[in-house]
Structure 1
Amino acid sequence: MSGTVTTYLTELEPTDADAIGRVYAVAREVVPDVEEGLGYGMPALTYRGKPLLSVMRAAKHIGLYPFSPAAVAAVAEQVALVAGTSTAKGTIRFQPASPLPDAVVRALVTARRDEIDGARA
């Protein structure tokens, strides 16, 4: 697996690439000054030197990792309303056929960005 988000997306099946790419696109809208990098060895968007989020294809789902249990908790109720999704301590799982709504992704990314900004204060 390659180390950048852009390269990773080219390695996926089109349906997965579309679903994962959409999450990254929304994240870039919320935080335009992100950079591509690694977070815990996964292709990720980074913000101010810290991992903002990673989205990866797993065997049975797509996993969204904001590197923050608090960010997942901030959107858990909204995620629960989307068919085929689940959450764990630091993960949101979804299916390409049932992607996360852009509003949920925006709320998640905003929570993680604000957490990173707060840590720098």
Structure 2
Amino acid sequence: MGTRFGSVDEYIASFPAEVRAALEEVRRTVHAAVPGAGEKISYQIPTITFDGKSLLYFSGWKAHIAIYPIPPVDDDLSAALDPYRSGKGTLKFPLAKPIPYNLISRLAKAFVEAR
């Protein structure tokens, strides 16, 4: 069944330094974009919550960071997300390239607006 994480800190600590740094920055970026957001582990990955409900999920992988699902977004944000789309509801940000944290901030705000 794999590792069971009790907290987002525990999840992030389980990764190598490069992935850990990116996960921490995603976490910080989302919290800055969504004041009052909480967090928990759900489906064994970090979950950002807002008003007590799951808002978005993020996870670390060997070569990328993933965020899901993709909320309804306007045409401009949709176009900006296109290079990162992987499947219907997943965004993958390769660790080999600079991660667009400003885009992740816009995405987090879109999640709140979609509620």
TM, length-normalised to structure 2: 0.78
- Aligned to 1:77, which of 65, 76, 79? 79
Q: What does 1:7-46 correspond to in 2, within 5 Å?
A: 7-46=10-49
Q: What does 1:50-69 correspond to in 2, within 5 Å?
A: 50-58=53-61, 60-65=63-68, 67-69=69-71
Deviation at 1:76, TM superposition (A): 3.2
TM, length-normalised to structure 1: 0.75
Which residue of structure 2 lines up, in the alignment, with residue 95 of structure 1?
A: 94
Higher relative contact order, chain-length normalized (CA < 8 Å, sep 6+)? 2
Tell me how far apart the structure 2 counterparts of residues 49 and 73 of structure 1 sit (CA, whole Å): 29
Divergent runs of 4+, >4 A:
71-74
Deviation at 1:32, TM superposition (A): 2.1
Question: How high is the sequence identity, in percent, across the aligned residues?
Answer: 25
Residues 75 and 7 (structure 1), Cα distance of their counterparts in 2 relative to 1, 3 Å cut? farther
Consecutive unaligned residues in structure 2, runs of 5 or more: none
Consecutive unaligned residues in structure 1, runs of 5 or more: 117-121
Residues 88 and 2 (structure 1), Cα distance of their counterparts in 2 relative to 1, 3 Å cut? same
The 3-state SS of whatever aligns with 2:97 is coil
Deviation at 1:57, TM superposition (A): 2.0
The CA RMSD measured in Å over matched residues stands at 2.5
Which one-letter code corresponds to 1:35 in the other structure? G
Tell me how far apart the structure 2 counterparts of residues 68 and 101 of structure 1 sit (CA, whole Å): 16
The answer to whether 1:2 aligns with 2:5 is yes
Tell me how far apart the structure 2 counterparts of residues 58 and 113 of structure 1 sit (CA, whole Å): 26
Deviation at 1:102, TM superposition (A): 2.2
Deviation at 1:54, TM superposition (A): 1.8
Tell me how far apart the structure 2 counterparts of residues 3 and 10 of structure 1 sit (CA, whole Å): 12
The answer to whether 1:109 aligns with 2:108 is yes
Tell me how far apart the structure 2 counterparts of residues 72 and 87 of structure 1 sit (CA, whole Å): 18
Count of equivalent residues: 112
